């Protein structure tokens, strides 16, 4: 409480401390952060459920077999061995049940009562469980596509901005080429080539969405290259890679963070569209597949699957958009300065 405060008071607030302070001050930002946290916890829960039922059936490479065994023990996978995971469990007695308690007379005359938070779909599967799995897929897509796209963007952006010359020419050519490809169609055709499934989704989105960030980083590195601290580092005889990654990169990392918070919802939406079209996730409950299934049922009054699924997408995308805005206001000093001038 004491030391840190004294330090910041003496030297002014660091960018991060200031940003956190600004975020804390905005209830909208905190609310969206809360929503994201809830979704993240749900994703982890979905992951646990998924692996609890599936870890025994996977055949990992030899090295990972002990890990598999430990995980199976931790998740108590043995207790559910041979059972169908809850999000796939069908019960034709409970077709299209509204959210809440439902009571049916089964074929053999017995009365069954079950509770469905968000109703059931045409095969009597619990919509809530499927939406949870959708959260899991959405987070996977958001994170893994970022892990593909952001390093590409950083590497190319830094190289182009720092070295200039022919390196710059080639990288600019490369990203203007990728930017010229018709976005969604390009993503879809990449995943068609890779093969339908999550890998196709990851590669399709990851390999096409680095352009915007790359452009931003290149521009920023170009600016920083001329600043005194970089020149000083160069005079001190530091290597290029050290200057780029240890000196310039920390100064532009806020751009990457803002970009991450905006790319995440975009990736989720793209995945939903891909799965909806039948090119994305296969044999797993993804939001796209759920919307695709629920779409025509809406016309017969079965609203819950569609409404809850779209609500989930809407909430997570909205939360990320709002957080991205708040982060931009908090982290981008240029914007902050502009606002002060006004």
Partner 1 sequence: MIPTVLGVILVTFVLFNVAGGDPAMLKLGKQATAQRLEEYDVQRGYDKPLICGMWGKTRAYRSDFRFSAAPWGNIPAVVYTNNPNRLILPAGREYSVPLSFELKPNTDYRWELVCRDGGWSEPDSARFVITSGTTVVKVVSLNADLWKKRFVEFRTPAEPGDLKFSFHVAVAPIEVKSLALYKRAGGFFDSQLFFFLGQIVRFDFGISAETNQKVSIMILGGLVPSLILTVPIFFIGLVVQVLLALVCAYYRNRFIDRFFVVISVILMSVPYLVWIIGGQYVFAYRLHMFPVWGFESLKYVILPVLVGVFSGIGGGLRFYRTVILDEVYKDYVRTAFSKGVSKRGVMLKHVLKNAMIPILTSVVMAIPFLYTGSLLLETFFGIPGLGNLSVNAILSSDFDVVRAAVLVGAVIYVIANLVTDLCYAFVDPRVKLR
CA distance 342 to 336: 10
Q: Which stretch binds partner 1 (CB under 8 A): 157-165, 170-178, 216-224, 229-237?
A: 170-178
Which residue of 279, 289, 323, 327 would you call a contact of partner 1, by CB under 8 A? 279
Least Å distance between CB 123 and partner 1? Answer: 21
CA distance 96 to 127: 10
CA distance 90 to 285: 13
Which residue of 36, 160, 190, 255 would you call a contact of partner 1, by CB under 8 A? 190
Written as six digits, the tokens of 214 are: 């790359």
Q: What is the DSSP string of 190-221?
A: HHHHH-SSHHHHHHHHHTTTTHHHHHHHHHHH
The answer to whether the CB of 273 falls within 8 A of the CB of 184 is: yes
Written as six digits, the tokens of 164 are: 């200039």
Which residue of 322, 323, 327, 330 would you call a contact of partner 1, by CB under 8 A? 322
Could you say which residues in the range 246-265 bind partner 1, by CB under 8 A?
265
Mask for 288-307, x = binds partner 1 (CB under 8 A): x--x---x--xx------x-
Written as six digits, the tokens of 86 are: 């809850």
Question: Which residues are CB-contacts of 203 (< 8 A; sequence separation ≥ 6)?
Answer: 148, 190, 191, 194
CA distance 26 to 10: 25
Least Å distance between CB 23 and partner 1? Answer: 17
Nearer to partner 1 (CB atom), residue 51 or residue 271: 271
Q: Which stretch binds partner 1 (CB under 8 A): 80-88, 119-127, 135-143, 317-325?
A: 317-325
Q: Does 184 contact partner 1 by CB under 8 A?
A: yes
Q: Does 56 contact partner 1 by CB under 8 A?
A: no
> Which residues here bind partner 1, judged by CB under 8 A?
173-174, 176-186, 188-190, 192-194, 265, 269, 272-273, 276-279, 288, 291, 295, 298-299, 306, 310, 313-314, 317-318, 321-322, 325, 338, 341-342
């Amino acid at each position: 409480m004491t030391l840190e405060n004294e330090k910041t008071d003496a030297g002014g607030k660091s960018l991060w401390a200031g940003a956190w302070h600004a975020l804390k001050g905005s209830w909208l930002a905190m609310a969206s952060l809360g929503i994201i946290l809830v979704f993240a916890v749900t994703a982890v829960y979905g992951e646990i459920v998924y692996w609890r039922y599936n870890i025994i059936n996977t055949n990992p490479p030899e090295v990972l077999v002990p890990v598999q065994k430990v995980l199976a023990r931790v998740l108590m996978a043995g207790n559910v061995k041979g059972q169908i995971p809850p999000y796939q469990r069908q019960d034709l007695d409970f077709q299209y049940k509204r959210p809440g308690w439902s009571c049916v007379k089964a074929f053999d005359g017995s009365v069954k009562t079950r509770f469905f938070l968000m109703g059931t779909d045409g095969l009597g599967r619990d919509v809530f469980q499927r939406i949870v799995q959708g959260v899991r897929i959405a987070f996977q897509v958001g994170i893994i596509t970022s892990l593909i796209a952001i390093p590409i963007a950083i590497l190319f952006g830094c190289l182009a901005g720092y070295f200039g010359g022919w390196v710059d020419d080639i990288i600019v050519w490369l990203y203007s080429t990728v930017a010229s490809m018709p976005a969604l169609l390009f993503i879809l055709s990449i995943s068609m080539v890779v093969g339908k499934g999550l890998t196709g989704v990851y590669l399709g989105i990851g390999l096409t969405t680095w352009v915007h960030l790359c452009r931003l980083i290149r521009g920023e590195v170009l600016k920083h290259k001329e600043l005194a601290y970089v020149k000083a580092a160069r005079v001190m005889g530091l290597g290029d890679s050290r200057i780029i990654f240890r000196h310039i990169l920390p100064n532009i990392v806020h751009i990457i963070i803002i970009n991450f918070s905006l790319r995440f919802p975009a990736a989720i939406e793209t995945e939903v569209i891909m799965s909806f079209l039948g090119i994305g996730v296969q044999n797993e409950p993804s939001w796209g597949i759920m919307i695709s299934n629920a779409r025509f049922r809406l016309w017969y009054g079965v609203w819950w699957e569609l409404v809850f699924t779209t609500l989930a997408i809407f909430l997570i995308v909205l939360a990320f958009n709002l957080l991205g805005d708040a982060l931009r206001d908090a982290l981008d000093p240029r914007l902050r300065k502009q606002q002060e001038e006004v």
